[in-house]
A and B are shown apart, each in its own frame.
Chain A
């Protein structure tokens, strides 16, 4: 970037372009938009950014991101404490919550086992989960890691670690999308659905 551009501008462009999915072009566009926009726009963005880190923490029970510890779900006495859904990321909690079909608790691992990326079991909240299950009144652990290889590896590892705890361990079914004709389902999904078929 040339010297004609003031340093605060290049600094913000730099910061934006480090975000996932934002390249240098989008970063400049966002920066110049903020330059031209009323002061309130950039001020409220700055406040939001500052609050993001200072006003959030991880729930000491489920390790989801929260404002208060324990989080709203963990401290809700109406939730069924005998079931725990284990997910990779905080966003996965939202996805399960949106279904409205689950009233138990969660456990966020913050990733999945992937030796290539240097992520081993000890880098995830697995020990915390085992302790939680051993010390609590959990009856069922529902493993909801992603259906990929890393998610599978994590699920298998969890299953072993939890085997001694004497609880029921289940894994989300991988099924067919509803509302679609069988002939239009892609072969990977169909093959998985076939492998995961159940008796009627």
Chain B
């Protein structure tokens, strides 16, 4: 998969950009805050309908127009898939009549000129993004790792994405209801509907995450083995958020079976059954505490090297290498899942690696049809790499020179 043409209107510091993208690696270089990262962000946004850097879409709108009555941002791309089919994908963000002060920002999606829903973006453009902040996958809070699993799965699995959407809404409704019940403002029988929804959607999430991590681990382990010269054994440990509070449980069910046992992959229906049992057992406690106590919102993923938890015992360098292994595994996983190479986006990560790992990474990414990298220091790349790489100098929201 590759993007043939990218067009930006009022996106970040780009007032207007029309760019044709070659296949292979594209190196965006230039000083900071010139718009290198924004280009990656735009591509990522088209793939996932969210930014990797901000949760507020209005930050994407060019500040020159943000006071306009009908401020808008448009990101568009022509994408060519492996079987040479070309699709036009376009996302428009429009502010209300009061410019960005208005509460509402409207998101419109068009695929080949036809208005579509956000969900329909899935699969149009698939990306793997690797940025320095990904270190949070090791060092950050569990929410970071759940977000990682969600984004990876959402790009490839519409059912998962629907379930995630449902789950997030149900969870807040159910928590609100539990609180009302705790305060005697509602009766427990009103929980039934939300329980059903929580169980059905939650089980899909857990089954998806379990499958993802199992498949990813096989690949990540191999990559990590290669990069560490056989010294390190990388493990992705899924810790499902079921038995988080076990105090009032019946004590009958073992949730260890949800772990990454290759022979005991659980499907969503089986997980749902267990989820329901556990939820029934814990209802009293949930009402007392006024919140949902078990479920995928408490899932955890731990990266282990040679049996040690990286988040607790690893060095910075080890963490960085492991995240790189995970990202390269993700690239391969995406390829196997969607049947073609996703677009790879690398934001400033190359500079963070030592020469050996840098060489390893740059060699491995050659598989992808299109790789967009950013750097402030083009000199750290070898002449060999630069020889087959398109180099674009980005300055003040413009591509000021290209050398293909």
Does B288 lie at the interface of the complex (its beta carbon under 8 Å from any beta carbon of A)? Answer: no
B196 to chain A, nearest CB (A): 8
Distance A118 CA – B102 CA, assembled complex (angstroms):
25
Does B120 lie at the interface of the complex (its beta carbon under 8 Å from any beta carbon of A)? Answer: yes
CB neighbours of B180 from chain A (8 A)? 115, 118, 120
Tell me the dominant secondary structure on chain B's binding face. helix
A115 and B96 in contact, given A25-B69, A153-B193 (Cβ under 8 angstroms): no
Does B174 lie at the interface of the complex (its beta carbon under 8 Å from any beta carbon of A)? Answer: yes
Distance A116 CA – B120 CA, assembled complex (angstroms):
28
CB neighbours of A121 from chain B (8 A)? 190
Listed stretches B23-31, B147-155, B165-173, B379-387; interface member:
B165-173
Task: Fill in one digit per residue for A166-196: 1 if any B CB lies within 8 Å of its CB, else 0.
Answer: 0000000000000000001011100100000
Distance A118 CA – B177 CA, assembled complex (angstroms):
8
A157 and B173 in contact, given A23-B101, A188-B162 (Cβ under 8 angstroms): no
Task: State which size class the interface on B falls in.
Answer: 20 to 34
Do B176 and A116 touch across chains, with their CB atoms under 8 A apart?
A: yes
> Which residue on chain A has the smallest CB distance to residue B96?
A23
B33 to chain A, nearest CB (A): 31
Does A92 lie at the interface of the complex (its beta carbon under 8 Å from any beta carbon of B)? Answer: no
CB neighbours of A72 from chain B (8 A)? none
Task: State which size class the interface on A falls in.
Answer: 20 to 34
Cross-chain contact of A156 among B96, B172, B176, B192 (Cβ < 8 A): B192
Do B98 and A26 touch across chains, with their CB atoms under 8 A apart?
A: yes
Listed stretches B111-119, B250-258, B293-301, B354-362; interface member:
B111-119
CB neighbours of A21 from chain B (8 A)? 96
Show the binding face of B for A, using Cβ within 8 Å. Answer: 69, 96-99, 101-102, 114, 116-117, 119-120, 122, 158, 162, 166, 169-170, 172-174, 176-177, 179-180, 185-186, 190, 192-194, 197
Show the binding face of A for B, using Cβ within 8 Å. Answer: 21, 23-26, 113-116, 118, 120-121, 149-150, 152-153, 156-157, 184, 186-188, 191
Ordered by A's residue number, 10 sampled pairs between the chains whose C-beta atoms are within 8 Å are A23-B101, A25-B97, A115-B174, A116-B176, A120-B180, A152-B197, A188-B117, A188-B119, A191-B158, A191-B162
